[in-house]
Amino acid sequence: MEMTSHWRVFDSNSPDVRYDNSHLIVSRGLKDTDRRLPLTNSNLSSVIMPIAPGPAEKASGVQSAALKDQHAPSAPEHLEKEARALDPADTRVTNLRQWCKQQHPHKTPFDQVSKSKLTSILVDERHKLLFCQLPGVALNDWRKILLILSGVVNTTSTGSISGGDVYGKYATKAKRLSEYDDKKRAEMLTSYYKVVFVREPLERLYNAFRVKLNAKSSKYFHKAFGSQIIRKYRKNPKEKDIKDGSSVTFAEFTKYILDNEREGVVSLNEHWQQYYKQCHPCLVDYDFVGTYEDVEKDTDHVLEKVKAKNLLKPPYVWDSKPLSQKDITNAYSQLNPQDLNNLYKVYSADYTLFGYECPEFLHTLLKKGNVFHDY
């Protein structure tokens, strides 16, 4: 039986609408078969034109989202030529704005952007900086950087601030854009330097599983998510495993994500929720898109841009080692090939918008599993 997803794009900025015009959803509904639905008059109303691949880019493992889709519109030639002449960071911004404009030509004015869409954006008024926080993308260190830039902590090293203090002692010191009134928010969105850092999406997903569900010390996530995942997805689960919640497998975790996206009952947790649903890149015109893969260099660029390099000494980020490709491949090879295909669809908009190429291991595993894919 074929099951299409609930995904929709709404031309609305209402906080009551689950997916609005800041959410660019690739038209690849989750379904049990490995074939896409034909575009007919009967289903066009619920289908979104797929987002085409961005300009070619290869820098430190971050590449263009080459979704080889025969239905996707090709990029305008002059934009592709312009993008090739830019450095990787500029190319990412160009790519992002290009697809936002293509999918949503009528942009929401900044003074009409709902504050509910801006809760992930942190503010440094001193340096006129807006930073969208994404768990799993050097967030702990960037929150430390903002504490230093804002003058909350008098130090030049992020290493001298403990992670416990970031989310304990200094937790209330982090200012969110959503806390300001409409006029001030619009002013900041217009004049402040707006930054977001991203990471290879499937690597981040596996890392979130390792840190939040697989780690024995992550008691909160075991109780909040692990127990329910084991109860629902494990055949004949033991009561002690359900109670403990710490033995979730990666395959069980990904089935939970897929079902959650199909049903659309609740949002995914921020540690594995898609980037575009947290940072709303088509509502916020980001000036810079940094990457986890080049986090030190890109952080240095941001500090120079806001004239704050004198306030910090490198290294700015203390834990930025990417996972090994062997570990990532081994993890995803545990999944049913069709589930793996559908999992990519869940995060495909992030790949496209932020200039990441579909990973090679995915092609290999899907080919091995005889799963048709067109990206």
pLDDT digits (tens, 9 = 90+) for 315-332: 999 888 889 999 999 999
Q: Which domain holds residue 116?
A: 1-375
pLDDT digits (tens, 9 = 90+) for 176-234: 999 999 999 999 999 999 999 999 999 999 999 999 999 999 999 999 999 999 999 99
State what percent of residues in the chain have pLDDT above 90: 70
How many other CB atoms are there within 10 angstroms of residue 220's CB atom? 11
Partners of 176 in the beta sheet? 122
Spatial strand order of the sheet with 175-176 comes to 175-176, 121-124, 129-132, 193-198, 288-291
Strand-strand pairing, 193-198 and 288-291: parallel
Query: Which pLDDT score, from 0 to 100, does residue 266 have?
Result: 83
User: Please, is 263 exposed, middle or buried when counting C-beta atoms within 10 Å of its C-beta (0-12, 13-18, 19+)?
Assistant: exposed
pLDDT digits (tens, 9 = 90+) for 51-87: 333 333 333 344 333 333 333 344 455 555 554 556 7
Query: Which pLDDT score, from 0 to 100, does residue 81 have?
Result: 54
pTM: 0.81
Query: Which pLDDT score, from 0 to 100, does residue 82 have?
Result: 52
Query: Which pLDDT score, from 0 to 100, does residue 41 have?
Result: 36
Residue pair 110/190 in contact (Cβ under 8 Å)? The answer is yes
Q: Is the pLDDT of residue 287 over 80?
A: yes
Q: Distance between CA 122 and CA 179 in Å, rounded?
A: 10
Query: Which pLDDT score, from 0 to 100, does residue 77 have?
Result: 56
Q: How many distinct structural domains can be found in the chain?
A: 1
Q: Which residue has the higher pLDDT, 250 or 22?
A: 250
Q: Is the pLDDT of residue 12 over 50?
A: no
